[in-house]
Structure 1
């Protein structure tokens, strides 16, 4: 991924001036830092960033500038990346499956918090961590409200969590609990259910929690008519912790990824060809920055712009949209309502694309090269469109 100097105020200005033929990710540091401040000021505890969502150095540095001092890291590479930018940052290694060499590397890097969800993984940590390290037992529930459930891969049952938590406390480590309600979870009651379960687990284990990590899963703005209820989620978390734990409430920490970075990036893709019955072929697809769309469903936050900056505003027409590779699976889900007056060489601007758009690029067929441009604004109107009925 190449990066350009911050010369342009908006994606429209950049596209008109540069006429790029490869995909471009537009990063707004102002939007990113505003998202970070909203979490730091609204969440009733420590905010750590899940590096996996977008590990770009520009993203990490802007989050640090906005006050994010902790990072959820899932691998030695992510640990090394954060340490190269901030020797003092708090590192939470909450991928609960690690090799012994990965544990040793984390200890050497000063990881502050570890998670565990299974006796075999606990045995790897016990004896390897320094005295007083925080160990958070990760548990799972059958709770709905997310786009997909992380509990299928990680997490102990409540009964298993009780036993693990008692072992952690008995070994002299700082006892904590952690959970993840699932990706793009918009229901505040999902967090309340997990917090109630945390109270049951701590009570059954006879352990006073030092900290409760309420995970990630906070929703980003994916669809035009669905504004993420972050303030309601923050308030419900705070209220639930007070209701369940009272004066013995543990300190809180969260680990958002998507909700911190998604809104700060827009993706520009070029129309390579219009074929057949209006099918659209783009210069990127599911093997590139759009890898998540078949899993999450296609966002409708899409604008179409002519090369001269005019917004395409013709009547919407449902179209099949294909990526650039030779694989017939490289197709966006469903049909997208796109302007009937769009043409070869136009740009599709997709908003809210800061999460997982760069982290999962494969470079299959030689595609997936992404240009990164820094701009101040992302949502400037793309000029005045002309209206032309579909034939």
Structure 2
């Protein structure tokens, strides 16, 4: 991928001037930094960034510029990416299953906080300095997210009680953490987890230093932006009610909700078939659109012509194929595009900052995708001068 240093006005302005024939991701540093500031002002605790959502160097640099200096990393490669962007960054290694070599790398990198969800994984952290924080990760059968993270990670509450006691006996800073699941739109999920965290700490007889309420904050996929402040208020109310005056410090680790809104993807229409009801794009599920396969279609789509003007007309439900030779390279059915759409037009998928870069492949030779910096992500009537 190539990073363009020029600052363009908006995606339409860039498209009409350059008419690219490969996918383009448009990044607005302004939107990214504003989102980071929204979290920092609204959450009221330590805001970290889950690097897995998008590890582009310019993303990390803009988050640092917005005051994010602590990062949730899941691998030594992510640690290195963060250190390149901010040598003084604080690292939280919250992938609870690690090899011996990965643990050694984390110790070398100075990881400040580790998570565990099983006794054997805690044993593997024997060489971690005693002053490091170890957060016990637990899981509950709580609904409200697009998909549940508890199937893979997370101790039961009973197991968490024993792990928390062991962490304290080993002399580490004790903490608890959880993740309500990706794209969680039910503030009640955090409420349930926080109240269980208080019960776990009380049963263990341990005062936890911090409570990590995870990521899972929802991004805008329908055009109606989730009210993050409602979730923030629910978190703080539950903490006050469950822990009283002896509440732990709070941490959150947004990934999707932090970065999604700052990117728009432009994919070009290569061909229309079956009277326009079947559309072939130059990007698909092996590229930047992988997340749509798992999360479902977004409703935040526009079509612009090569001159940069917004296509209007009656919305038609389409079958969308990507550019590869694999028939599985197909989005979930039903993406609506205007009936005026034509070959050579660009389909703009908004809110595509999360997992678009991170999960894209080069299958069949279609991996190329520029990242272009724009001031604004809105505006579809470009003026050429």
The TM-score with structure 1 as length reference comes to 0.96
Structure 1 residues 367-382: aligned runs within 5 Å:
367-382=366-381
Secondary structure of the structure 2 residue equivalent to 1:163: helix
What is the Cα deviation at residue 247 of structure 1?
A: 1.4
Structure 1 residues 120-135: aligned runs within 5 Å:
120-125=120-125, 127-135=126-134
Structure 1 residues 161-240: aligned runs within 5 Å:
161-224=160-223, 226-240=224-238
Distance 2:7 2:259 in 1: 22
Distance 2:317 2:87 in 1: 51
What is the Cα deviation at residue 383 of structure 1?
A: 6.2
Secondary structure of the structure 2 residue equivalent to 1:343: coil
Q: Which residue of 2 aligns with 1:49?
A: 49
Q: Which residue of 1 aligns with 2:23?
A: 23
Distance 2:330 2:156 in 1: 38
Q: Which residue of 2 aligns with 1:331?
A: 330
Q: Which residue of 1 aligns with 2:363?
A: 364
Distance 1:10 1:368 in 2: 23
Distance 1:381 1:348 in 2: 12
Distance 1:281 1:147 in 2: 27
Secondary structure of the structure 2 residue equivalent to 1:215: coil
**Residues 42-62 of structure 1: per-residue CA shift (max 9 Å, x gap):** 002000000000000000000
Q: Which residue of 2 aligns with 1:255?
A: 253
What is the Cα deviation at residue 330 of structure 1?
A: 0.5
CA RMSD of aligned residues (A): 1.0
Aligned length, in residue pairs: 382
Alpha carbons 2:47, 2:70 under 8 Å: kept: yes
**Residues 165-193 of structure 1: per-residue CA shift (max 9 Å, x gap):** 00001111000000000000011110010
Structure 1 residues 236-385: aligned runs within 5 Å:
236-278=234-276, 279-382=278-381
What is the Cα deviation at residue 322 of structure 1?
A: 0.5
Q: Which residue of 2 aligns with 1:83?
A: 83
**Residues 271-295 of structure 1: per-residue CA shift (max 9 Å, x gap):** 0011123210000000000001111
What is the Cα deviation at residue 4 of structure 1?
A: 1.2
> Would you say 1:40 and 2:40 are equivalent positions?
yes
Distance 1:380 1:262 in 2: 18
**Residues 231-250 of structure 1: per-residue CA shift (max 9 Å, x gap):** 00001111111111111100
What is the Cα deviation at residue 267 of structure 1?
A: 0.3
Distance 1:230 1:214 in 2: 14
Distance 1:376 1:142 in 2: 42
Distance 1:324 1:336 in 2: 17
**Residues 135-171 of structure 1: per-residue CA shift (max 9 Å, x gap):** 0000000000000000010000000000000000111
What is the Cα deviation at residue 368 of structure 1?
A: 2.0
Secondary structure of the structure 2 residue equivalent to 1:277: helix
What is the Cα deviation at residue 5 of structure 1?
A: 2.2
Q: Which residue of 2 aligns with 1:116?
A: 116
Distance 1:360 1:381 in 2: 28
> Would you say 1:97 and 2:112 are equivalent positions?
no
Distance 1:199 1:325 in 2: 50
> Would you say 1:6 and 2:14 are equivalent positions?
no
Distance 1:52 1:300 in 2: 24
Alpha carbons 1:311, 1:383 under 8 Å: kept: no
Secondary structure of the structure 2 residue equivalent to 1:5: strand
Alpha carbons 1:135, 1:174 under 8 Å: kept: yes
**Residues 190-210 of structure 1: per-residue CA shift (max 9 Å, x gap):** 001000000110011000000
Distance 1:382 1:137 in 2: 52
Alpha carbons 1:271, 1:347 under 8 Å: kept: yes
Secondary structure of the structure 2 residue equivalent to 1:67: coil
Can you give the 5+ residue segments of structure 2 that lack an aligned partner in the other structure? none
The TM-score with structure 2 as length reference comes to 0.98
Secondary structure of the structure 2 residue equivalent to 1:203: helix
